Each structure stands twice: as structure tokens, then as C-alpha cells.
Amino acid sequence: MTELFRSLDASCTYGKKMGTEMNLTIGSERVSTMNIELIKLTTEYREQLFEMLTEWKNDIIENHTDMSPWKIWVNDFHNLEYYIENLDTKEKDENGWVPDTTLFCFDKDRNIFVGAVNIRHVLNDALLKTGGHIGDGIRPSERGKGYATAMISLALDECKKFGIKRVLMTCNKNNIGSAKSIINNGGILENEIEIDGHIEQRYWIQL
């Protein structure tokens, strides 16, 4: 995500389905209303999932763009039942994987998926260095519209349910849009570290 995200109006209401309505503003001008929720994937959303991931996959191949959150790419989404069954890690295993939950960002007005988040319930040494509690991504056609900031806000509410009191989020220093969406949600930069030739920024958000 290389675009700068638009600011969000302070007023928002949360529903029992992990949803929110947010008024998007640029300066003092209100431009649109966002009606989104984070949902657990079911077969009911087959069409929305296939449409989003097909677009996303093509963009990754053509433009070598970010695959975050990587968990949505671990298994073949065409085998939907298997994909859903293996989307979340239930408990820490011998490979070092930690318990996590993957949720999809559903635009209720447009009946489409616009992105996804992967929430790690605890951190291991690797995630503490880079990756953090939340991996997030917005599909290519919906970037630069404020969805990332709104989706992270909803993900932070989910983190509270898992008993997480302080959330770590990281991003590539060159990913200005990602950093902006983290800062918009209260992210405070702790430090920058070099990983595989690039600079990774580490932000903490107090819940």
C-alpha cells in the first residue's frame, strides 16, 4: 500500500458482528460513509473470497506487490472447505506457529471483501522482531480509500477480546500507507531494524 490513507471522522459505532460505520473525511469535507465488518469465513462467502483473492493474486504476479497477510495464501482457496478448516492455527505447535485468527473485511453496502487481517494471540521471538500481533492487507482495487485504517481499528477491538493489552504492528519503512494506517490507530514508533536488506518499523498500540 503506497498511497496515503485519508483521515477518519472521530465518530463511529460498533455492532455485534465486529462491524462499524465510519464517515470518511478529507480535511473538513465529508466524502463517503464506510459500512464494514470483520467476519469469520464461511462457504456463504465463496464468491466474495474468490473474486478478491483472484484479483489480489494477479496483482502480486504482475506487480510483485505485498502478500500480507500471508496466512490467506498458505492453502489453495479453490478447495474452500479445506481452506476454511485450516485458516486458523488453534494452538502453538512444534513449528513455532502461534494461535491466530483470520478475519475478512466485508463491505456490507457493496457485498464485497475489501481486505483481511490475521491476529496472532501471542508473540514468539520471530513475531516480536517483525510481524507483530496483526498482519493486514487491502485488495489492490480498494487501496487508498481509508479501509486499512478502519480495518485495523476493528482488529484492535478483536485483540481486546483475546486479552491483548498492547499490540505490536510492523511495516516496511517504504510502505508509507501502511505506516499511516498504524499511526492513525495510535501506533507509537519504538524503533527501526534492518531485516533482509530493508528497514522494518515497529509500532506499539496501547489498548
pLDDT tens string 63-78 = 988 778 999 999 999 9
Q: Which residue has the cell 501502511?
A: 178
Structural domain boundaries, residue 106: 8-206
Our measurement of the distance from residue 85's CA atom to the centroid of its chain's CA atoms, rounded to an integer in Å, reads 20
Q: CA-to-CA distance for 115 and 106, rounded, in angstroms?
A: 8
Contact 41, 87 (CB under 8 A): yes
3 falls within a domain = no
22 falls within a domain = yes
Q: What is the pLDDT of residues 181-207, one digit of tens each?
A: 999 999 999 999 999 899 999 999 999
Alpha helices in the chain (DSSP H): 46-63, 80-85, 125-129, 147-161, 176-184
58 falls within a domain = yes
pTM: 0.84
| CATH for 36 | 3.40.630.30
Beta strands 100-107; 166-172: pairing state: unpaired
Q: How many domains does the chain have?
A: 1
